[in-house]
Amino acid sequence: AQTVTQSQPEMSVQEAETVTLSCTYDTSENNYYLFWYKQPPSRQMILVIRQEAYKQQNATENRFSVNFQKAAKSFSLKISDSQLGDTAMYFCAFMKRRNYGGSQGNLIFGKGTKLSVKP
């Protein structure tokens, strides 16, 4: 079974600074996807960034980037130039890549990190 661990329940950062959120996971699978989702007070989960395990290059989306270390099973999220609107819960999630006729693409989430961006 796969597990996802986020060891930082809460973090805070000053506006315009950089913050890194940690995520580790445990799996015996070789093909999978990793995601970071943001959940603001509106409750809707919003995809921030995704990484395919077979790609060595770290994913980047504007101010958001990841440090994917497959051997260490680590997937951290870096937010640069933090903005007040980045305040939210951040969830790291794992999804096993579907085998032909195999399992569905369900997400396995960590417990989340509450990020507060201070003015």
Partner 1 sequence: ETGVTQSPTHLIKTRGQQVTLRCSSQSGHNTVSWYQQALGQGPQFIFQYYREEENGRGNFPPRFSGLQFPNYSSELNVNALELDDSALYLCASSLRAEPVDGYTFGSGTRLTVV
Number of residues interacting with partner 1: please give it, by CB under 8 A: 27
Q: Which is nearer to partner 1, 18 or 90 (CB)?
A: 90
Asked if 75 is part of the footprint of partner 1 (rule: CB under 8 A), the reply reads no
The 3-class secondary structure across the chain, one letter per residue, is CCEEECCCCEEEEECCCCEEECCEEECCCCCEEEEEEEECCCCCCEEEEEEECCCCCCCEECCEEEEEECCCCEEEEEECCCCHHHCEEEEEEEEECCCCCCCCCCCEECCCEEEEEEC
Residue in 109, 115, 117, 118 binding partner 1, rule: CB under 8 A: 109
Which region, judged by CB under 8 A, interacts with partner 1, from 12-20, 21-29, 70-78, 90-98? 90-98
Torsion of CA 47, 53, 55, 59, to 10 degrees: 30
Asked if 43 is part of the footprint of partner 1 (rule: CB under 8 A), the reply reads yes
Residue in 19, 23, 25, 35 binding partner 1, rule: CB under 8 A: 35
Residue in 108, 115, 116, 118 binding partner 1, rule: CB under 8 A: 108
Which spans of this chain sit near partner 1 (rule: CB under 8 A)? 4, 33, 35, 37, 42-47, 50, 52, 91, 93, 95, 97-98, 103-112
